[in-house]
Amino acid sequence: MSREELATLLEAEGGPRYHGDQVFRWLYARRRFDPELFTDLPKPLRTKLAQSARVDVPKITARVTADDGTVKYGLALPGGGTVETVFMTHRDRITLCASSQVGCALMCGFCLTARMGLIRHLTAGEIVGQIARIQEDQGLRDRPFNIVFMGMGEPLHNYDGVLAAVRLLVDPAGFALAKRRITISTSGLAPAIERLASEPIRPRLAVSLNATTDELRDRIMPVNRKYPIARLLAACRRFAKATGERFTFEYVLLAGVNDTDADVLRLAKLLRANPAKLNLIPFNEVPGWLPYRAPARERVVAIRDQLLAMGLPVSIRYSRGATARAACGQLAVISDGPGPSLPPPLEVSL
C-alpha cells in the first residue's frame, strides 16, 4: 500500500490519517512487519491491525552463487508461484535484478523466461518484497544499490504494479532510493513507453531492440508484429522529447542471426537520430533449451568498434552470473527434464 492507501485504511479503522505515515515508515523504512511492534500507534489500534491486516514477505527458497560472486535467489511469493531475483556486484557497484511477473507473455526466442509463458503479474508488494528480502540477506541497509527490472517478465506489461513499486522504492519515508538508480527494461511495448514519459516519478528506460529488420524481429521477438521497429523508435523519440532524458538501447548478439556487417550498418542508421546509448549484450547460452549461440569475443569487439567509428555511443555489457544461470535471458523456474513443469500460461493481449 502507498502512504495514501495506508492513511485511508487507518482512517477506516477509526484513527487519524497521519497514522498511515507512521505505518508506512514501520513497513518500508524500519522493516517491521508485526503491527504489535508499531509502538507510536495506540495499543488498541495495534491489536486491531494485528487481527485484521496481513504483511507477507517473499521467502527465500534457493540461493545459488556464480563464479563471479553473483547470487541468484529463488523467492516464493505470498500470492503463489516463485520468481528468480539476482544480486550482482561489479567493483563497488551493487545491482539487484528484480522480476515483475511469474513467467512472461512475450515469447522472445532467446529468453528462457519465455518458455514459462505468463503465469501472473506480481503485485507492487511482491516486487518491493523481493528488494527488501535480498537487501536484508545481503546486509545492504546502509549501502547504495541499483535496481534493474530485467528479471522475469516484461515490466511494462505489468505497468501499474511496477510503477506502484517504483513509487514505494523512491519514497523518502521508505526505501528512499533515487529514481536514477532504478531502470526499467522493455521489449518494446510502444504505448507503455509513451505513457511512461508522463509519469511524475519515472525510472530510467532501456529498450531491447535485438534486430534491424522487421522480418527478423517478428521471428525472434513476436511483440514486433504488433509494434514494429518504426513504431517502437517513434515511441522512443516521443519519450526523449517529452522527458529530455537519454535512454539505452539493448542489442543481444546472436551468432549468425543479427551480427552481420549488414546488421551493423542498419543498426547505426536506425539509432543515429536517437538520443540514446547502445549496449551490446553477447547472448548467454542455455544448452538444451535455447537454440542460439554467442558470437566470438573478437566479433563482439569488432562490432563495437565499427559502431563507434560510425559515431554511435556504444559499449559491451558482459552479463554476470552465467555459471548460476543468473545472466541476462537465463532466468526461469523450470524442471530439469525435457520441458517446463509449470501451470498453464495465461491467455493475454498486449
Q: Which residue ranges of the chain lie beneath pLDDT 70?
A: 335-350
Query: b vs e for 124-145, b when ≥16 Cβ sit within 10 Å of the residue's Cβ?
Result: bbbbbbbbbbbbeebeeeeeeb
The pLDDT of residue 228: 98
- Pick from 334, 298, 328: which is nearest to 111 by CA? 328
Question: pLDDT per residue over 39-94, tens digit each?
Answer: 999 999 999 899 988 888 999 999 999 999 999 999 999 999 999 999 999 988 99
The pLDDT of residue 91: 87
- The CA-based angle 335-108-225, given to 5 degrees, is 145
The C-alpha cell that represents 80 in the structure block: 503463489
The pLDDT of residue 98: 98
pTM of the model: 0.93
Catalytic, out of 194, 215, 328, 347? 328
The pLDDT of residue 15: 84
* Cα diameter, the chain: 71
Question: pLDDT per residue over 255-299, tens digit each?
Answer: 999 999 999 999 999 999 888 999 999 999 998 899 999 999 999
Return d(Cα 211, Cα 257) in angstroms, integer. Answer: 9
Secondary structure (3-state) at 41: coil
Return d(Cα 4, Cα 13) in angstroms, integer. Answer: 14
The pLDDT of residue 53: 87
Q: Which domains does the chain have, with CATH numbers?
A: 3-52 (1.10.150), 59-324 (3.20.20.70)
Catalytic, out of 4, 84, 194, 236? 84
**Exposure of 15 by Cβ count < 10 A (0-12 exposed, 13-18 middle, 19+ buried)?**
buried
- Type of residue found at 224: N
The pLDDT of residue 339: 41
Active site residue 328: yes
The pLDDT of residue 334: 72
| CB neighbours of residue 245 within 10 Å | 14
Return d(Cα 99, Cα 103) in angstroms, integer. Answer: 9
- In the chain, % helix, strand, coil (3-state, to 5) comes to 40, 20, 45
Active site residue 13: no
